[in-house]
A = this chain, B = another copy of it.
Amino acid sequence: MQDAYGALVERFRQLARIDHALTFLNWDQLVMMPPAGNDSRAAAIAELTAMQHELLTAPVVGDLLQAARTQALAAPEQCSLREMERQWQRAVCLPASLVKAQSLAGSQCEHAWRQQRRDNDWQGFVANFREVVRLSREEARLRQAVAADMFATPYDALLDLYCTGDDSAFIGQVFATLKAELPTLLAEVLERRQPAPSLAGTYPPAAQKTLSEEMMRCLGFDFSAGRLDVSMHPFSTGDRGDHRITTGFREDDFAGALQATAHETGHAGYEAGLPRQWDGLPVGQARNLCLHESQSLLFENQLFLARPFVAFLTPMIHKHLVESRHFSEEQLWRALTRVGPSLIRIEADEVTYPLHVVLRFEIEKALINAEIEPDDIPELWDLKMRQYLGLSTAGNFRDGCLQDIHWTDGSFGYFPSYTMGALNAAQLFAAIRRHFPDWREALARGDVAFVRQWLGEQVWSKGSTMESQDIMRQATGEGTNPGYFLDHLRARYLHQQY
């Protein structure tokens, strides 16, 4: 093989073009498609997914990878080859029969869960869930087997799919600090914070959309290369030159959709800033979800919720939403930064959210490593909720261990990225504050160009050319350190600094 690496580049770019099709078919399904279109859409998506899998796992790819390893490649191409191997290995290590069994068990468990959650029916759920766990353990075992030197435990092999490069030992150590410090910090915050007003009112969705778009422009979103639309749950997707985010507007509340828009704008920024020269190749993709979520949470928690930015936004909110004019900037900021322990993760504030994640991380790690069984979950959940947040979920499965969709289809290893993202966001923004001492004044003018430029250089343009912790070290001087996040919470919630 003359140029095995060149042949791999062509193969992976072909896969990326199919991925483009899947990306926009999926977007359309969630945003545009009328309900009766689902069958033909599902069949088309399954077909393209199968073609993609076949192209990636064809024997020639293995041969090309082996040949490319002996080629004289420059450092960037070696890096690119490493990421190709990573994706290829992830695709070839599972037998088709397992993938199919997981897909079936996952769909069945997820589908039934939608009703079982409403019915508070843990027994019904666990009957399906045992099979999902059994198959995920098998998946973890197989993924660990092909790269035994990389994964210390079976759980690490699943975690790697989302938190690539950040292993469970490292995450566990970082989370231990949060577990030790957050409950005390939370108690202090609750003691000191003044009560926040309710923002309830009537806010026409069309006006909320115009407001969201105006804010997105301030946050640097380029509408000649992207869109904002409406879907049930907010998400972000796209490809080069076409970055699409969604949010969901509720007539009685504008804050949720606006905050979600800021969050998704961060995700879209990362995607738009990925290195153009690596378009279509694995090395050109976002590094991992711990960094992806750090970009969305930086936009959400560090920019959108910052007091100077809320001050900037207040007249804009007043302009578009008549009923919001009752609320002063001070009241808006207090409402947006309300803190309090609650049972539901997705409704949690930035102080309590990590404790929800630590709980899930501990349980899913033990579950996949076969230290506990599915039937042990409700008791453990209640115990940890009481320890971390002082709330009980005994008998309340609906608002306890049945609240999330992730485990129902076997997505174990996803949860930690939410909190790793929050920590990385605080640490990156601390570095930005050191570089730009005038950050408060800039935010108060609605100017975030300095943030986008710095993140573009330090994170977005790196793609997957470096490991996650190396990107953090190069950008901030150290790997993920929960101290910055705790400092941020103290500054905002104890000392009202921003």
A residues with CB within 8 A of B:
14, 17-18, 20-21, 24-25, 28, 32-41, 43-44, 46-48, 51, 222-227, 238-242, 279
Contact = CB atoms under 8 A, between A and B. Distances in A.
A479 to B, nearest CB: 34
A237 to B, nearest CB: 12
Contacts of A20: 40-41, 43-44
Contacts of A48: 17-18, 21
A223 B356 CA distance: 41
A32 B40 CA distance: 21
Contact of A241 (B24, B39, B225, B238): B39
A115 B279 CA distance: 33
Contacts of A25: 21, 24-25
A33 B31 CA distance: 13
Given A41-B242, A240-B40, A242-B41, A47 B18 contact: yes
A314 to B, nearest CB: 29
Contacts of A40: 20, 239-242, 279
Given A14-B47, A47-B14, A242 B34 contact: yes
Given A21-B21, A21-B25, A224 B35 contact: yes
A203 to B, nearest CB: 20
Nearest to A239: B40
Contact of A47 (B17, B24, B28): B17
A16 B417 CA distance: 39
Contacts of A18: 44, 47-48
A277 to B, nearest CB: 14
A228 to B, nearest CB: 11
B28 A225 contact: no
A220 to B, nearest CB: 15
B36 A242 contact: yes
Contacts of A224: 34-36
A224 B33 CA distance: 9
A36 B225 contact: yes
Given A21-B44, A44-B20, A47-B17, A239 B28 contact: no
A12 to B, nearest CB: 13
Contacts of A47: 14, 17-18, 21
17 contacts: A18-B47, A18-B48, A20-B40, A20-B44, A21-B47, A34-B223, A34-B224, A36-B222, A36-B225, A36-B241, A37-B241, A37-B242, A39-B241, A40-B239, A40-B241, A41-B242, A51-B51
Given A20-B40, A33-B242, A37-B240, 9 more contacts: A17-B43, A17-B46, A18-B47, A20-B43, A24-B28, A36-B224, A37-B241, A37-B242, A44-B239
A26 to B, nearest CB: 11
